[in-house]
Amino acid sequence: MSRDRRDFLKISLAAGAYSVLSSHTTSLFLDDDTVPILEYSIENGRVFHDNKLQELYVGIDKNGALHLSSEKILAKNYIDASGKVVSPGFIDILADNSSNPETTYKIFESYKVTDGVTTALQLHGGHHKASYYYSFMERRPHYINYGVSTKVMNVRRSYGSITSRIAAVERNLKEGAIAVSHSIEYQPTPFSELLEYGKVAKKYNRPFFLHLRYSSEAQELEGVMEAIEIARQTGCKLHIDHLNSTGGTFDMEGALKLIRDARTEGLDITTCVYPYSYWATYVHSTRFNKGWKERYGLTYSDLTVVGTGEKLNASSFYKYRQRAGVLVAVPEGTVPMDKTVNLALKEEFCLIGSDGGIERSQRANNHPRGAGCFATSIKHLLSLGFSLEDAIRKVCYLPTQLVYPVLSKKGMIENGYDADLVIFDPETINGEACPANPNLYSNGIDYVFVNGKIAVQNKELKATNGHAIKLSV
């Protein structure tokens, strides 16, 4: 080809590509500063932009940033998303991998990312030494973005006085912890001490994530009222963990009314649920202290060891009570969806949070929500009559507002935002994990991008391009 012909083609390509991208970017060029080009162009999908699904081209540059256009984009790689939805990456605010993250994080992340989760924040448990956690994790590759709260349960085990505990919580927040978290059903704590944690959360403008004190029919609303009073007296942003299993199991309508009234008063309170009709927790926990059969209307044979299917009896129950880490699930339908989860999901202040994570690659002893919560959530929301747009808001945009500003460039598809994306089929998306086999990847998810790299393609794990999510003072 002659030099004149090459120059003519180069100029033509540059002019055509610039007409597509000029309203969005003017600096994406090859080394010769002539032809604008992106790493990826996603075409023919319905793109969630400006809170509605639109026909747009989505480009991803070499730095992992998004670029949108109504016309074709020049790129190195093209992905045909015909019949699919192009969504921001799902954000799990209540991921759980706090027991032994140093050795299990990669397995945990593999099940999150194949469920469409691009950012998993452990804001229920977290870590009690934020500096150590982030230092350790930042030296290793990750499938997803990750971050933690300061885990008050472990802080309280390490320090005896309230003064030293508060100092440790503050230190964690200064070292990057995104929130303050505590579980007062599992570790009962005086109300006066809870107020101190709320004050610290308010001081550093971080949310206070709280697993409530009571899960019994007689007292669960007292736990909701206690949480509201903490927010009222301290002014902190307060999030109630998994209201369907703790706080609203028996009287969800009453719990939601309390929260609605508190928000009308001006208090900043949110909550979350997971879309399953049964809960699971560790046999050795305080949830199974004396009186549990009466509290939940259950007996030994109603408890199933997750991952093995073993049904308990009185003998095996007390045997496993002596061990740490044996997770049991109650029967499906124990928490009726129509009286709990479905009511909560109607509220704008209710998000999705898994409260789970898979930690072993085989025979995992984890609730299936650790692998399939978000695909299951999309499917369930659609079955309830939610629009795709509203379903996506629940799992993408609303979490960014809860922990703002740490996720200020995530949760939406906008020019310059991080290219955390999920391409899924709205007809087939669903979680496959179940109590008998919680180690199953979700269906209907074609691609997951994390910071501009393909992390998952058709259930196959690809690039490790996750970043730490933290807020330092």
Q: What is the pLDDT along the chain (473 residues), one digit of tens a residue?
A: 433 333 333 333 333 333 333 333 333 445 455 455 899 999 999 999 999 999 999 999 999 999 999 999 999 999 999 999 999 999 999 999 988 899 999 999 999 999 999 999 999 999 999 999 999 999 999 999 999 999 999 999 999 999 999 999 999 999 999 999 999 999 999 999 999 999 999 999 999 999 999 999 999 999 999 999 999 999 999 999 999 999 999 999 999 999 999 999 999 999 999 999 998 888 999 999 999 999 999 999 999 998 888 999 999 999 999 998 898 999 999 999 999 999 999 999 999 999 999 998 877 788 999 999 999 999 999 999 999 999 999 999 999 999 999 999 999 999 999 999 999 999 999 999 998 889 999 999 999 999 999 999 999 999 999 999 999 87
Q: Is 307 left (phi over 0), alpha (psi -120 to 50) or beta?
A: left
Q: Do you know the residue count of the chain?
A: 473
Report which of 365, 357, 219, 377 is spatially closest to residue 295, judged by C-alpha positions.
219
82: tokens are 């015909």
Beta bridge partners of 351: 272
d(CA 72, CA 338): 45
Q: Do 178 and 469 meet the contact criterion of CB atoms below 8 Å apart?
A: yes
Q: Do 247 and 212 meet the contact criterion of CB atoms below 8 Å apart?
A: yes
57: tokens are 């081209």
Report which of 108, 239, 102, 263 is spatially closest to residue 182, judged by C-alpha positions.
239
Amino acid (one-letter) located at 124: H
What's phi and psi for 472, nearest 5 deg?
A: -105, 150
CA-based Rg of the chain, rounded to a whole angstrom? Answer: 23
- SS3 (DSSP) at 158: helix
Instruction: Give the predicted TM-score (pTM) of the model.
Output: 0.91
Question: Is 179 exposed, middle or buried (CB count within 10 Å of its CB: 0-12, 13-18, 19+)?
Answer: buried
- HSE of 428, CA atoms in CB hemisphere, 13 A: 11
Report which of 458, 439, 415, 469 is spatially closest to residue 366, judged by C-alpha positions.
439
- SS3 (DSSP) at 163: helix
Residue 36 is predicted with a pLDDT of: 59
Specify the residue for token string 């997951």: 448
Residue 33 is predicted with a pLDDT of: 53
Helix intervals (H) in 322-411 = 341-345, 369-383, 388-392, 398-402
84: tokens are 């699919």
- HSE of 443, CA atoms in CB hemisphere, 13 A: 9
Beta bridge partners of 305: 328
d(CA 242, CA 249): 10
Residue 156 is predicted with a pLDDT of: 98
Q: Is the previous residue joined to 405 through a cis bond, with omega within 30 degrees of 0?
A: yes
d(CA 114, CA 124): 22
CA distances from 451 to 4, 178, 473 (A): 39, 20, 24
Q: Do 142 and 420 meet the contact criterion of CB atoms below 8 Å apart?
A: no
Listed in order, strand segments (DSSP E) in 184-329 are 208-211, 238-240, 269-273, 280-282, 304-305, 327-329
11: Cα separation from own chain's centroid: 46
Q: Do 153 and 188 meet the contact criterion of CB atoms below 8 Å apart?
A: no
Collect all residues with Cβ–Cβ distance below 8 Å to 87 and sequence separation of at least 6.
48, 116, 392, 396, 413, 421, 422, 423, 424
Helix intervals (H) in 178-217 = 191-203
Residue 17 is predicted with a pLDDT of: 38
d(CA 100, CA 117): 20
Go through the domains of the chain in sequence order and give each one's CATH number: 3-83 (2.30.40), 88-279+330-406+425-440 (3.20.20.140)
H-helix or E-strand containing 150?
strand 145-151
Report which of 120, 124, 43 is spatially closest to residue 77, judged by C-alpha positions.
43
- HSE of 357, CA atoms in CB hemisphere, 13 A: 29
